[in-house]
Structures are given as structure tokens and as C-alpha cells.
Structure 1
């Protein structure tokens, strides 16, 4: 299953409270439950003004549908071609 990184511009994202992040996460999970089991949210990285989400999905269209249903911005979707980590250097 392809993996994607979704860039979402959300000014002040790094200042969101745990309650706000919980609410956003619940909305995302609610939408995912109503969609195909083929799309999965793996995790997200919250920075000052962006959230980078990692998803598995069959295609970009499904990611865009999830964002539209949940009211989430999608500024860029990048398909992951390879994952590397320190073990790659060995």
C-alpha cells in the first residue's frame, strides 16, 4: 500500500492545546471509520505552523476526500518512494 506525507498549513499549529489536538484527531478518526478500510492514518508531526501527516492509502484522491470530509487543509501530498534510517548506513 502506498504511503504519503501530507503537508497541512495551519498557522499556530504548534500552540494547539492537547484538547484541540484530541478534537482534530477524533474528527480524523471519525471520517476514516466512515471511509474505506484501505486508508490509514499512521501518525503526524506538529510544527509551529504546519502539521505533516503520514497516511497509507491506495491513491491521492482518497487522501483528498478524507481532508474534504474532515475540513482539513491539504497544501501538498508527497508519495513516499523509500524510507531510510540509521540502519540504512550499515
Structure 2
């Protein structure tokens, strides 16, 4: 599976309070259940006007389809090529020549 980072601009999403976020999350989880195992949700960070989410999927089309089914904007979708662990100083050694993680 491929890891994707999705940034969705949604005005006031982080300021809307728990009920609005719970409704979005419920729609997302329902869509994910129907699409399993092609796409899984890993984590989401919430800002005042955006959601930043990490997904693992077979293809970018699965991430787009999840957004459509959940009633969420596609947003900006980027493939994650590597992870830089914050506590390690030699992160460059974890990359191979293609720019993908070896760990």
C-alpha cells in the first residue's frame, strides 16, 4: 500500500466544535468500511481551517473515491516518499537512491 497525505481546506472546520467533527468522522469511517481493505485512515491533524490526514491506499484513486463517498473535498493529495524521524539525526541514511524509505 502507498501512503498519502491529504490537505483539505474547510473553512472553520477546527472551530466548529465536536459535533461537526464527529459527523465528518462518522461519514469518513462509514466510507472506509465500504472500501476496506483498499484504503485505510491513519491519522488526522485539525487546524482552524483545514484537515491534514494520512491514508494508506492501493492507489490515489481510492483516496479520491473515499472523499467522494464521505462528502469531503478531495483537497491536495501527495504521495509520501519517506518519513524523517524527528529524534534521529542521521535521517538521510534511511533513504535509498530512489528517495524511498528503507525502514
Q: CA RMSD in A?
A: 1.2
Contact 2:38 2:62 in 1 (8 A): no
TM-score in terms of structure 2 length: 0.81
* 2:53 aligned counterpart, secondary structure: strand
- Choose between structure 1 and 2 for higher RCO, CA contacts under 8 A separated by at least 6 residues: 1
Q: Which residue number in structure 2 is paired with residue 25 of structure 1?
A: 25
Which deviates the most, 75-84 or 31-40? 31-40
TM-score in terms of structure 1 length: 0.92
CA distance in 1, matches of 2:70, 2:37: 16
* 1:73 aligned counterpart, secondary structure: coil
CA distance in 1, matches of 2:89, 2:17: 38
Q: Which has the larger radius of gyration?
A: 2
**Displacement, 1:38?**
2.4
Q: Which residue number in structure 1 is paired with residue 46 of structure 2?
A: 46
Are 1:84 and 2:84 an aligned pair?
yes
Contact 1:9 1:74 in 2 (8 A): no
Contact 1:13 1:47 in 2 (8 A): yes
